[in-house]
A and B are shown apart, each in its own frame.
Chain A
Amino acid sequence: MEALKIHIPDNEQYRELGAYIESVRNMPGPLINVLHRAQGIFGYLPMEVQTFISRELDIPLSTVYGVVTFYNFFSMTPRGKYVVNICMGTACYVKGASKIVDIFKDELGIGEGETTEDNLFTLTTARCFGACGLAPVLMVNEDVYGHVDRKKVVEIIKKYRTLG
């Protein structure tokens, strides 16, 4: 197999990540911290970014990739502007969360883990936000919506479509 030839552009984003890596260089076991920051900067973790991190931290790319793919929080595909994250914890499940997922699938025409063609919405599920009192609950980016039903789903989608 051919070695990965990846060109790392010299831009603001990489400079920011590079500076962060410098700041944690002496900290033991910094990889997950660096990945969190990188995903914050780039929105996701494509091979190019992983290669950069591998070189900068002197950790084999296979190890970086292994960690990225192990944790749910890290994504290798771009996310939509609004990430709809539906809680599938037990309390939400008991209150019908899987139905809420189906409604979103219908309304947005995408499956779980997918992004709409206009890059506006990504549909994901999570394991318990710890807001069980509000079940069923979902988050759109950082905003939390509780006691969600079909009507509320339609309102939520409309709201973010309007925001654009």
Chain B
Amino acid sequence: MAHRLNVLVCSGASCISNDSLKVKEAMLAEIDRLGLNKEIKVIETGCMGPCQLGPVILVYPDETLYKKVQVEDVREIVEQHFLKGRPVERLMYKSPLTDELVHKSSEVDYFQKQVKIVLANCGNIDPESIEEYIAVGGYEALGKAVTEMTPDTVLNEIKISGLRGRGGGGFPTHMKWMFTKNEKSDEKYVICNADEGDPGAFMDRSVIEGDPHTLIEGMAIAGYVVGASKGYVYVRAEYPLAIERLQKAISQAKDVGFLGEKIFQSDFSFDLEVRVGAGAFVCGEETALIHSIEGKRGTPRPRPPYPSASGVWGKPTVLNNVETYANVRHIILNGGAWMAKIGTETSKGTKVFALSGTIKNTGLAEVPMGTTIRELIYDIGGGAPEGHEIKAVQLGGPSGGCVTPEYFDTPIDYESLTQLGAMMGSGGVIAMDETACMVNTAKFFLDFTCFESCGKCTPCRVGLKQMYGLLDKITKGEGEEGDIEALEKLGNTIKTTALCGLGQTAPNPVLSTIKYFRHEYEEHIHDKKCRALVCKDLISYEIDAEKCKACTLCAQKCPVDAIRGQRGVIHVIEQEKCVSCGSCYDVCPFGAVQRLSGEN
């Protein structure tokens, strides 16, 4: 029997850490108490996208979107809305633009510019139920491929669709598949790269947690095309929920025969295994990932041979990212031409972006290729919080670069972003406002890539360390004339000489911040000034005597006893003792502690 109401409770990682599962339990108990079990179905779903509003609850068929629901709110929702039909307005989403209540989730501005293909099921079905996936057309594409199409006709649809690798590189998917297909071998493999290591990217996690069967189906179709009977999903250890849901989904698919021997009574057999990473960023590089699956140190090796010729266990292997595979079933069901209609001349379909940083709406957003950075940041992301202004967005993580507001009208596709010195990368978009120091940000990325460098090739191992040393010097106020030029020279050399993608792209954050924010570097070097008040060694603290209420709170917190004064006597910081730790700034309830940089 159909239920009167379907209540979708987001159980993406972000909502779970905001107690969405406790909310769900409370809701079930309340529904039970009122005897509404037969009328109302509560479903745990994957990430719905607007993580900022979590825990998020969506009620169908009304399409009511509740935000930030806590256990205390549950009784009111169940009694007022579910029983009496009066939605609880205080918990509904309000448009930040008009301050008006939004009655239907489809009218929420965050969703309006989005086109959901990859994320279509995320947040709409229970990721732990294969029946729900089948009910929305799941495994139809696999069935169609293996019973009605030849590997060549499937490959042709992928070619027509224009699908390119979503993991960052943007290599045409059909070519990868074709190369592997054309290899002669007794055994071939399909691998999914779910080692989503780019800080600031979490779309692969959300796809696996919210719709794991989509990935399985895409990989099985790839297996059919290239002639593989075995596949691996390499998931990073940091994603325990994704691993659990994927394993559950694989065993469900085996139980009903969508994985295993003679799928759909055809001659095609395909099996999948999950391999868990162990915390090494470089394993996102394909040859390093293959080594890691083989149980070895995850160091990359020179290519060729490419994995399509010699991949895991030395056999021909096709390797794609989660989001790439998640597109496959839609191409098979709707035809390649359907996807080719979406996007730009060179980049087809959609791309999922993870919005974070100093932006109002953080979360996942899927938009057609060709959407401008501005639309993504302002129309969907809502722009910076009140009183702040976005000065740059970082695209493509540690391999990418930053883009400044004058380029925000650039349409997002692989080529345009590369031209700007950034890259599509895996789709992390991090907004930065005036409180971010660009030199320090570059140093942060270099610290990351230095740490993650596997050490195999000299340009990356030694060169990045040298670049880091220069940046460290500059942020400590010890920068000298010529440092910027040295950074540029080193960066360009490493880009052209490093062995793998990690080293070849690691200088990008430095080079792009120098390109767009050279003045910040120069201020650090010449004026010993950090305008964002981030670089500790360039900041001093002073107490504004007008605002100080002589409460002694700052003096109590000061770890080096640098603050003079007592109750009733205005406090003063002794500059020679102060270590610029900022404790006083954090604790002062009156905002009397001022931060200064480059003013003496």
Question: Is A133 positioned at the interface, with any CB of B under 8 Å from its CB?
Answer: yes
User: A146: which B residues are within 8 A, CB to CB?
Assistant: 14, 17-18
Nearest CB of A to B212, in Å: 16
**Which residue from chain A places its CB closest to the CB of B299 in the assembled complex?**
A70
Question: Is A134 positioned at the interface, with any CB of B under 8 Å from its CB?
Answer: yes
Interchain CB contact under 8 A, A130 and B278: no
Question: Is B84 positioned at the interface, with any CB of A under 8 Å from its CB?
Answer: no
Interchain CB contact under 8 A, A90 and B238: no
User: B358: which A residues are within 8 A, CB to CB?
Assistant: 94-95
User: A72: which B residues are within 8 A, CB to CB?
Assistant: 278-280
Tell me the complex Cα distance, A94–B293, Å. 33
Tell me the complex Cα distance, A35–B454, Å. 20
Nearest CB of A to B269, in Å: 18
Residue interface bits B360-371, CB-to-A below 8 A is 1, else 0: 001100000000
**Which residue from chain A places its CB closest to the CB of B436 in the assembled complex?**
A94
Tell me the complex Cα distance, A41–B452, Å. 27
Interchain CB contact under 8 A, A73 and B205: no
A to B CB contacts below 8 Å, 14 in the list: A29-B296, A31-B296, A36-B278, A67-B295, A73-B277, A91-B199, A93-B444, A94-B430, A95-B357, A127-B197, A130-B13, A130-B205, A130-B239, A133-B51
Interchain CB contact under 8 A, A94 and B295: no
Tell me the complex Cα distance, A90–B354, Å. 12
Question: Is A9 positioned at the interface, with any CB of B under 8 Å from its CB?
Answer: no
Q: Which of A136-164 contact B (CB under 8 A)?
A: 137, 142, 144-146, 150
Interchain CB contact under 8 A, B278 and A128: no
Question: Is B582 positioned at the interface, with any CB of A under 8 Å from its CB?
Answer: yes
Interchain CB contact under 8 A, A131 and B294: no
A residues with CB within 8 A of B: 28-33, 35-36, 63, 66-67, 70-74, 88-95, 99, 102, 106, 126-135, 137, 142, 144-146, 150
Interchain CB contact under 8 A, A144 and B430: no
Nearest CB of B to A22, in Å: 17
Interchain CB contact under 8 A, B296 and A131: no
**Which residue from chain A places its CB closest to the CB of B49 in the assembled complex?**
A133
Nearest CB of A to B533, in Å: 12
Interchain CB contact under 8 A, A132 and B200: yes
**Which residue from chain B places its CB closest to the CB of A137 in the assembled complex?**
B17
Interchain CB contact under 8 A, B202 and A106: no
Tell me the complex Cα distance, A99–B201, Å. 22
Residue interface bits B295-336, CB-to-A below 8 A is 1, else 0: 111110000000000000100000000000000000000000
A127 with B281: in contact, given A70-B298, A90-B394, A99-B582 (CB under 8 Å)? yes
A90 with B428: in contact, given A132-B202, A134-B17 (CB under 8 Å)? yes
Contact of A128 among B18, B198, B294, B436 (CB under 8 A): B198
**Which residue from chain B places its CB closest to the CB of A29 in the assembled complex?**
B295
User: A29: which B residues are within 8 A, CB to CB?
Assistant: 293-296, 313
User: A74: which B residues are within 8 A, CB to CB?
Assistant: 278-279
Interchain CB contact under 8 A, A90 and B205: no
Question: Is B54 positioned at the interface, with any CB of A under 8 Å from its CB?
Answer: yes
Residue interface bits B448-481, CB-to-A below 8 A is 1, else 0: 1000101000000000000000000000000000
Interchain CB contact under 8 A, B197 and A128: yes
**Which residue from chain A places its CB closest to the CB of B587 in the assembled complex?**
A150
Inter-chain pairs besides A90-B200, A90-B428, A91-B357, 11 sampled, C-beta below 8 Å = A29-B293, A71-B278, A71-B280, A73-B278, A91-B199, A99-B582, A128-B197, A129-B13, A129-B238, A132-B202, A142-B240
User: B281: which A residues are within 8 A, CB to CB?
Assistant: 127
Interchain CB contact under 8 A, B397 and A67: no
User: A142: which B residues are within 8 A, CB to CB?
Assistant: 240
Interchain CB contact under 8 A, B356 and A28: no
Tell me the complex Cα distance, A89–B432, Å. 14
Question: Is B52 positioned at the interface, with any CB of A under 8 Å from its CB?
Answer: yes
